Amino acid sequence: MTRSLFDEPPAPYAAPEPIAPGAVLLRGFALGEAEALLQAARQVIAAAPLRHLMTPGGRVMSVGMSNCGALGWTSSRTGYRYEKTDPLSGQPWPPMPACFADLAARAAAEAGFEGFAPDACLINRYQPGVRLSLHQDRDESDLSAPIVSVSLGLPAVFWFGGLQRGDRPARLRLAHGDVAVWGGASRLAFHGVAPLADGEHARLGRQRINLTFRRAG
């Protein structure tokens, strides 16, 4: 029997692939624990629903967002900031699941950043056509810690640029179970996500979920 390309199981994690100084792609690093991560994410979202935030410029973000951990990233007309409580409920954000913090620390160590202890995890949900424009993650007080970003569900094209907005970004395919880590010389690199191509993911259907871990406080 011949196998088609589409039957091919994703290759297991092999080694870090360099993107830029301080930035690596760990393809398949989270594959073995994707199911546990999704179950934990579902519980977080049940307590702190995904929502479409307003940018300071007055636009509604097309990415659906929630958070867990001591601090949660949020945005409104008054600016971007981290908050200890969910503005929707007035309650603290759901605690960071142990499987989240554990994966983030292991991925950071694999990328050369030992001792990463995230206090914030942003959950992003992309549906077909949704994009995230080029930006820097710079609302965190400690820029010595890296960013760890886990992709689940439909594949996306990740733009990874330089320290200037105008630097032409690399285009990297991020698939279910892939983890990107950037810190050090790349900590303030511009990055974003191209409009999500439609498709059907075996586990998640027509969506992509991204978990972004940071040391915010």
Q: How many CB atoms lie within 10 A of CB 66?
A: 25
Binding to ligand SIN by residue 132, rule CB under 6 A?
Answer: yes
Q: Which residue is nearest to ligand SIN (CB)?
A: 210
Binding to Fe ion by residue 140, rule CB under 5 A?
Answer: no
Instruction: Give the residue with the Cβ less far from ligand SIN, 40 or 209.
Output: 209
Binding to ligand SIN by residue 149, rule CB under 6 A?
Answer: yes
Are the beta carbons of 106 and 213 closer than 8 angstroms? Answer: no
Binding to ligand SIN by residue 158, rule CB under 6 A?
Answer: yes
27-29-32-37 Cα dihedral, nearest 10 degrees: -110
Residue 92 CB, shortest distance to ligand SIN, in Å, is 21
Q: Which residue has the tokens 């699941």?
A: 97
Instruction: Give the residue with the Cβ less far from ligand SIN, 5 or 23.
Output: 23
Residue 135 CB, shortest distance to Fe ion, in Å, is 6
Question: What CA–CA distance (Å, rounded) separates 93 from 120?
Answer: 10
Binding to ligand SIN by residue 182, rule CB under 6 A?
Answer: no
Residue 191 CB, shortest distance to ligand SIN, in Å, is 6
205-211-212-214 Cα dihedral, nearest 10 degrees: 170
Q: Binder to ligand SIN among 66, 67, 74, 124 (CB under 6 A)? A: 124
Q: Which of residues 71-100 bind ligand SIN (CB under 6 A)?
A: none
The 119-138 contact track toward Fe ion, x by CB under 5 A, reads ------------------x-
Amino acid 55 reads T
Binding to ligand SIN by residue 181, rule CB under 6 A?
Answer: no
Are the beta carbons of 149 and 104 closer than 8 angstroms? Answer: no
Q: State the DSSP string of 94-133.
A: PPPPHHHHHHHHHHHHHTT-TT---SEEEEEEE-TT--EE
Binding to ligand SIN by residue 67, rule CB under 6 A?
Answer: no
For Fe ion, the binding residues (CB under 5 A) are 137
Residues of the shown chain interacting with ligand SIN in the complex, contacts defined by CB under 6 A: 122, 124, 132, 149, 158, 191, 193, 210, 212
